[in-house]
Amino acid sequence: MKKIYPNAAAALDGLLFDGMLIASGGFGLCGIPELLIAAIRDAGTKGLTIASNNAGVDGFGLGQLLETRQVKKMISSYVGENAEFMRQYLSGELELEFNPQGTLAERLRAGGAGIPGFYTATGVGTVIADGKEHHDFNGKTYILETGIVADLSIVKAWKADPSGNLVFRKTARNFNPPAATAGKVCVVEVEEIVPLGSLDPDSIHLPGIYVHRIVQGQHEKRIENRTTRKKEA
Percentage of the chain beyond pLDDT 70 is: 98
pLDDT above 70 (res 226): no
**Burial environment of residue 101 by CB neighbours within 10 A (0 to 12, 13 to 18, 19 or more):** middle
131 Cβ contact list (under 8 Å, min separation 6):
none
224 versus 93: the higher-pLDDT residue is 93
pLDDT above 90 (res 231): no
Burial 133-156 (b: 16+ CB within 10 A, else e): eeeeeeeeebbebebbbbbbbbbb
CA–CA dist 226, 1 (Å, integer):
45
Instruction: State the average pLDDT over residues 176-192.
Output: 98
Residue 56 — very low, low, confident or very high, per pLDDT cuts 50/70/90?
confident
118 Cβ contact list (under 8 Å, min separation 6):
106, 110, 144, 145, 147
pLDDT above 90 (res 173): yes
- Write the CATH number of the domain with boundaries 4-117+148-216: 3.40.1080.10
Instruction: State the average pLDDT over residues 41-63.
Output: 94
pTM equals: 0.93
End-to-end Cα spacing for the chain: 59
Domain edges within the chain: 4-117+148-216
> Within 13 A of 188's CA, how many CA atoms are on the CB side?
37
Mean pLDDT for the chain overall: 94
